[in-house]
Chains A and B, each alone.
Chain A
């Protein structure tokens, strides 16, 4: 158990819909990272927040957005969903803003299925 929690575990929805994925970091961690894992793309970095501020951006679609709240939990919002958005979404947390020795600990993930 990494200490990172994610809800829900599974989500099934229809194309065009909007969903929100939630992540609670390990106690004391200030950074939250979001990753997407699809069958054809592997694990890809989406976005990082540090202490409420966006810190780094990866291959995140404009239809996706994220935020980190004062209690440090984070939400990833996915809108206008397409079939290709079906994937595992992982959240990770670390205790610093990042860097070469910043170890990220991953949550169990949310499996999103878009029908």
Chain B
């Protein structure tokens, strides 16, 4: 399984963009990058996923570097409700499970 590395915590001012980095240097060419978040002890919430092109949806944008060894999740206008643990996951080529690491604790402050 391709491993991911994320900073343990980050702070962001309310209303500013939150940029959450993720390193996945051993990713295979056909593996997707997924982002989930978990607010307090709620169920993980799907945010976005991508393969090689940048992706955007109503929640966030995902920027994947050309060599695919890293990616950045962007929350364009962070609010207090975006405070959560954010997980970057590389989807394994075989099998169906999601492998969660420790994630990044994002604290949005007013």
Contacts and interface: CB of A to CB of B under 8 A. Distances in A.
A2 interface: yes
Main secondary structure of the interface of B (DSSP, over half): loop
A21 to B, nearest CB: 13
A109 B95 contact: no
A2 B42 CA distance: 11
Interface string A25-63: 000000101010000001111001000000110100000
A42 B102 contact: yes
Nearest to A109: B43
Classify chain A's interface size: 20 to 34
Contact of B96 (A90, A102, A109): A102
A100 B41 contact: no
Contact of A111 (B30, B34, B41, B91): B41
B43 A2 contact: yes
A42 B8 CA distance: 14
A90 B101 contact: no
A87 B88 CA distance: 22
Contacts of B100: 42-44
A66 interface: no
Contacts of A108: 42-43
B93 interface: yes
Given A43-B87, A100-B30, 15 more contacts: A2-B45, A42-B102, A43-B98, A55-B96, A88-B41, A90-B43, A92-B43, A98-B96, A99-B96, A100-B32, A101-B32, A103-B34, A106-B44, A108-B43, A109-B43
